[in-house]
Amino acid sequence: MIRVRVPATSANMGPGFDSLGIALNLYNEFEFRELEESLKFNGMPEEFCNEDNIIYQAMKYCFDKAGYKIKGLEISELKQDVPVSRGLGSSSTCIVGGLVGANEILGKKFSDDELLDMAVEIEGHPDNVAPALLGGMVVAIVDENKTFYDKVNIKKGLKFVSIIPNFRLSTEKARSVLPKEISLKDGVYNVSRAALMVSALGSGNFELIKYACKDAFHQNYRSKLISGFEEVYNKSYELGAWGCYLSGAGPTIMAIIDEKDERFSNKLGEYLKQKGFEWNILELSLDNAGATVIEGANE
């Protein structure tokens, strides 16, 4: 039996479209057992208990890469704290969890770099799967079908506040509203701010995050799909957030605040209640471990 814990992730971080992401201390946990025959699922809705299950598909992808024919498999979801279709990397936890679980069954045949390449091949982009696998903040690119990445050492002193609405937004719908092409002006706008984001988080010049968070690629288009976005976004800055951005494809809004700020979440919660918005607020911190095989769970 193999148990794997995978963190939530927040991608894009404003201007870093499909390339920047962080891992956060909110987790999904999976358990895997090789069987003599059959495919079994536990702890998940009936609609996902079949061979189209994204966890199973990721495991099969890994087994096929290794040339391994598995007879049977039991997949259990023990914990699902990462909300589905909210822009916090729920699908990436499934992909990474499945790959790591399969690799454990294979006796750790593949390195983290090889697992990351597989995850990107499945997901299509590295911004969520890279931090889910590796932890921390990761800058990742794909060049000639190979993923290259570097981890950013974020200076201590920050909290990441996830402001999560009670409705879902599918990644497919969120991508459908994006333009097919961008202008040189918008390209320069985002490149400069993505560079500033990495620099400011690494140096501790947090007062620059507000300017680094601005985006011209996706946020203006996707925010129109999210009722209450402008109000929550503007209120976050009014309450003293260092920065604020649409997490992944949304609809979650991520606020970056001072770790000593004890009033932000309460004040924002009061505001949401007054406005009649049914949003949850979670104060999170960086997860630096990434996907972890829980010791003592293997047999």
pLDDT tens profile 58-117: 999 999 999 999 999 999 999 999 999 899 999 999 999 999 999 999 999 999 999 999
Q: What percentage of the chain exceeds 70 in pLDDT?
A: 99
| The token pair that represents 229 in the structure block | 């976005």
Is 91 annotated as a binding-site member?
Answer: yes
pLDDT at 209 over 70: yes
User: Collapsing DSSP states into helix, strand and coil, what is residue 119?
Assistant: helix
Q: Is the dihedral of CA 170, 175, 176, 177 positive or negative?
A: positive
Query: Smallest Cα–Cα separation from 119: which of 139, 143, 100, 105?
Result: 100
Is 9 annotated as a binding-site member?
Answer: no
**pLDDT band per the 50, 70, 90 thresholds, residue 219:** very high
Is 100 annotated as a binding-site member?
Answer: no
Query: Smallest Cα–Cα separation from 164: which of 283, 16, 261, 290?
Result: 283
The pTM of this model reads 0.94
Is 222 annotated as a binding-site member?
Answer: no
Rounded Cα distance between 173 and 100, Å, is 29
Rounded Cα distance between 44 and 94, Å, is 12
pLDDT at 299 over 90: no
Summarize pLDDT for 134-158 with one digit per residue, the tens: 999 999 999 998 999 999 999 999 9
Q: How many CA atoms lie within 13 A of 102 on its CB side?
A: 30
Is 126 annotated as a binding-site member?
Answer: no
Is 203 annotated as a binding-site member?
Answer: no
Query: Smallest Cα–Cα separation from 284: which of 275, 264, 92?
Result: 264
Give residue 33's pLDDT.
94
Is 223 annotated as a binding-site member?
Answer: no
pLDDT at 167 over 80: yes
**pLDDT band per the 50, 70, 90 thresholds, residue 172:** confident
* Mean per-residue pLDDT, 280-291: 97
Q: What amino acid occupies position 61?
A: Y
Give residue 295's pLDDT.
72
CB 110 within 8 A of CB 65: yes
* Mean per-residue pLDDT, 273-278: 94
DSSP conformation letters of 94-108: HHHHHHHHHHHHTTS
Give residue 260's pLDDT.
96
Is 138 annotated as a binding-site member?
Answer: no
Which residues contact residue 294 at a Cβ distance below 8 angstroms, ignoring those fewer than 6 apart? 3, 4, 5, 29
Rounded Cα distance between 251 and 85, Å, is 8
Is 38 annotated as a binding-site member?
Answer: no
Give residue 297's pLDDT.
53
Give residue 296's pLDDT.
58
**pLDDT, averaged across the chain:** 95
DSSP 284: E
Query: Smallest Cα–Cα separation from 25: which of 133, 151, 206, 160?
Result: 160
Torsion of Cα atoms, 233 then 235 then 236 then 239, to 10°: 170
Is 87 annotated as a binding-site member?
Answer: yes
Q: Let me know if 207 is exposed, middle or buried by CB neighbors in 10 A (0-12, 13-18, 19+).
A: exposed
Is 85 annotated as a binding-site member?
Answer: yes
Q: Tell me how far the alpha carbon of residue 99 is from its chain's centroid.
A: 16
Domains of the chain, first to last: 2-152+287-293 (3.30.230.10), 158-284 (3.30.70.890)
Cis peptide before 251 (omega within 30 of 0): yes
Q: What amino acid occupies position 187?
A: G
